Amino acid sequence: MDIASQQAIDAPHQDERASPQARRAVWGAFVGFFVDNYDIFLPVIALAPAMAYFIPKDLAPTTAAIVAAMIFATTLIGRPLGAIIFGHFADTLGRKKVTVVCVLGFGVVTLLIAALPGYQHWGDAVLWVFILLRLIDGIFLGGEYTSANPLAMEYSPKAKRGFYGALIQSAASLGTAAISLVTLAVLYFLPAGDINAPYVQWGWRIPFVFGALMAFGLAYYYHNSVEESEVWRKAGKAARTESPLKALFRGENLRSFLQVFVVMTGFWLSLNAALAIMPGLLVRRLHVTGTHLTFMLVVAYVVLAVFYVLGGIVSQRIGRRTYLMATSAISAVVGTFCYYKLLGAQPGDLPTIGLLATITTVLVVLPGALGCVYINERFQTGVRASGFGLGYSLAIVLPAFYVFYQAGLANFMPFHYTVLVLVVVGALLIFVGAALGPETKDVDFGPKSA
């Protein structure tokens, strides 16, 4: 068989094959998202049993709650800032360089946090230093996925973008599960308690150091194994506007951004309803605590990761738009019903509670499987990093105030049922946002791609 005949046979299948460069880029983005979510929840999960190390007991409860919330919230605030700053450089200087800088950045910051002295040594100053470091941490974290995920998607073959994008997205829930398991393991050997307890004094540092080491390993991997995006290189200077941010907020790019913003606002609202609100409801309403609570959440997050990957495969067959609309409808109806049944479960019936918690988590958050691939497909090469980073991060702002929405709804219904309204509203936003946008699974990446 001559070369021409062989090329004719191979041509229909070339778009289905992932090159070694693609696999390395996808693996890097997967680990990056894993470490990102591991890092994000360090103060919430790993530091929670040792918060007395930074917040004294004589501090007013309201003030203490505000300080703890600020430590977490400043990281979330930093993410869109990172998308703005590093999205510009990822679109103009290259995806790989920015990824390496950002991964090293949040690795160093996480290590600095692990070395912080407590309130007993620095007083109020340590709280401000902690908050500042978490803000910087969030900026670097936002920059990491803003550059790494477009790089991975630009290397992924069109026929498998849904699968690879969902695989990367699944790392988010796996990272959350990992920090829960690491913290549980450390607490087993180093119990928490009063201010002098081993975990409170130094045990909490172990999950932070582990997170920093993962970041350094990821930076080394990117520097030595991942190549710059060929799509970005071939696009040339014509596709690299001097100000990607300006280009993002005008014309067709602006319309794409606003449509993505609606979808992602719905996603974050649904995510908060499942991942942020559910643990508190399990504790307060169903009296699930300690290792039982951790085990339930870990199982739910791992199962969610599996369904994310399956969702990406399904979207490759039926289309992203159809998938988002179908799963958001399922979330609004079936997901809300399962959440209602969970809230009415019998306290102490751990098998039923665990099963319902897992099913509810999957059904409510399932549209999020396309968070990575769909946003990247909505923007052209010259603004793809900025579009993805801001589209993914900025939409978190409004859903972040979910507690206030619940407080308002509590004037009309029992507080614990207000989460059901958030699920429905989140699903509706995803449905409407997807309906307003085009189908993207067959889009060609390049300077003129939509």
Of residues 418 and 12, more confidence is placed in: 418
pLDDT tens digits, residue range 331-364?
A: 999 999 999 999 999 998 999 999 999 999 999 9
CATH homologous superfamily for 20-228? MFS general substrate transporter like domains (1.20.1250.20)
Residue 243, token pair as written in the block: 């100000």
- Among 44-53, 84-93, 373-382, the least confident range: 44-53
- Among 7-16, 42-51, 201-210, 421-430, the least confident range: 7-16
The arithmetic mean of pLDDT across residues 252-256, rounded, is 94
User: Is residue 322 scored above 80 in pLDDT?
Assistant: yes
pLDDT tier, 400 (very low <50, low <70, confident <90, very high otherwise)? confident
- Give how far Cα 206 sits from Cα of 14, 201, 275, Å: 46, 11, 24
The Cα–Cα gap between 401 and 263 comes to 17
Q: What percent of the chain has pLDDT over 70?
A: 92
CATH architecture, range 241-450 = Up-down Bundle (1.20)
Tell me which long-range contacts 115-124 makes (C-beta under 8 A, separation of at least 24).
115/205, 116/54, 118/53, 118/54, 118/201, 119/53, 119/54, 119/55, 119/56, 120/195
Q: Where are the domains of the chain?
A: 20-228, 241-450
The Cα–Cα gap between 173 and 33 comes to 9
The arithmetic mean of pLDDT across residues 83-90, rounded, is 93
Q: What percent of the chain has pLDDT over 90?
A: 62
* Closest by CA position to 109, among listed 85, 157, 142: 142
The Cα–Cα gap between 184 and 405 comes to 32
Name residue 185's amino acid: A
* Closest by CA position to 102, among listed 32, 167, 172: 32
The arithmetic mean of pLDDT across residues 46-63, rounded, is 78
- Residue the block writes with tokens 């902690």: 130
pTM comes to: 0.88
Name residue 34's amino acid: F
Domains 20-228 and 241-450 share a fold: yes
Phi (first) and psi of residue 193, to 5 degrees:
170, -125
